[in-house]
Amino acid sequence: MRSFLFVPADSERKLAKGPQSGADGLILDLEDSVAADRKMVARDMALAYLRAARRDAGPKLYIRVNALDTGLTLGDLATIMQGRPDGIVFPKCVGQRDLDLLATYLDAFEAREGIDAGTTRILTVATESAAAVLALTAATAKHPRLMGHSWGGEDLMADLGALAKGPAAGVYDDTFRLARTVNLLASVAAGVTAYDTVYPDIKNVEGLRAEAREARRMGYGGKIAIHPDQVAIIHEVFTPSAQEVDWAKRVVDTFESNPGAGVLTLDGKMLDRPHLVLARRLLARAG
């Protein structure tokens, strides 16, 4: 999955338009985009949306629940798990401890609803506090339910008391570059996809494209959108090109034709095992 689009769960208009964006996944948001006095309304609307949606077509449907420290997480899950979401987006996650706790909650709610154990996936927002960044730096957060880690800059900025994430849009101070890097390393170590953070300047198309390209160059597998118009650019950047797919296929074919070789050549350039790993990842993303 290359893209997720945030959709406030209490907005009928935005919920209706979400699938038209073409995003690989929608995140029905119960957290930051929903006012405190609308939280219960958002829960019910998210459940109704899940129950009405066609599940054999269209985007995957994830729900961002409220963070553990709000006291709302269990209530969110108790309601929305009746609609069998594809996954949960877990904000303010602090390392393995919080990931394991959410997974335990999901075990119980899946049993209650008759959902096959382990079906509901988890996408964390893994760097929204100093404690979260340090937790990921100290140890990899992994779980069979985990499908990806994403990093968040806005809440981290608030936690740090920073006035901005950097001197200009898309230019990050070292603290935020660290969070972005740690999130990528933690994702790779856990064997899941790393998702780049949202780009808040929805009018700056070239800024979004540049940030997405940088993320992909680093090794990120996708990016999260906050506006439908951002999805096409994210797909443009994170979909392997025909040339990349052709190169990857030829790398795999070359190694399969020479199973005992450690080092080979292709187009006059040396190939070794890391190139084969990269080629297989490109093909997996293209597929």
Beta bridge partners of 193: 148
Q: What pLDDT score does 168 carry?
A: 82
Cα–Cα distance measured from residue 121 to residue 56, given in angstroms and rounded to the nearest whole number: 17
pLDDT at 75 over 90: yes
Helical ranges in the chain per DSSP H: 12-17, 39-52, 73-80, 95-113, 130-138, 154-160, 174-190, 205-218, 231-238, 242-257, 273-286
Amino acid type, 15: L
**Band of residue 215 on the pLDDT scale cut at 50, 70, 90:** very high
Question: What stretch(es) of the chain map to CATH 3.20.20.60?
Answer: 3-238
Contact 234, 25 (CB under 8 A): no
Cα–Cα distance measured from residue 29 to residue 26, given in angstroms and rounded to the nearest whole number: 9
**Band of residue 144 on the pLDDT scale cut at 50, 70, 90:** very high
pLDDT in tens, 43-56: 999 999 999 997 77
Number of H helices, E strands in the chain: 11, 10
pLDDT in tens, 231-286: 999 999 999 878 888 888 888 888 888 887 778 888 888 888 888 888 888 888 88
pLDDT in tens, 7-47: 999 999 999 999 999 999 999 999 999 999 999 999 999 99
Q: What is the mean pLDDT of residues 84-91?
A: 98
Contacts of 154 (CB under 8 A, 6+ apart): 200
pLDDT in tens, 90-133: 999 999 999 999 999 999 999 999 999 999 999 999 999 999 99
Domain spanning 3-238: which superfamily?
Answer: Phosphoenolpyruvate-binding domains (3.20.20.60)
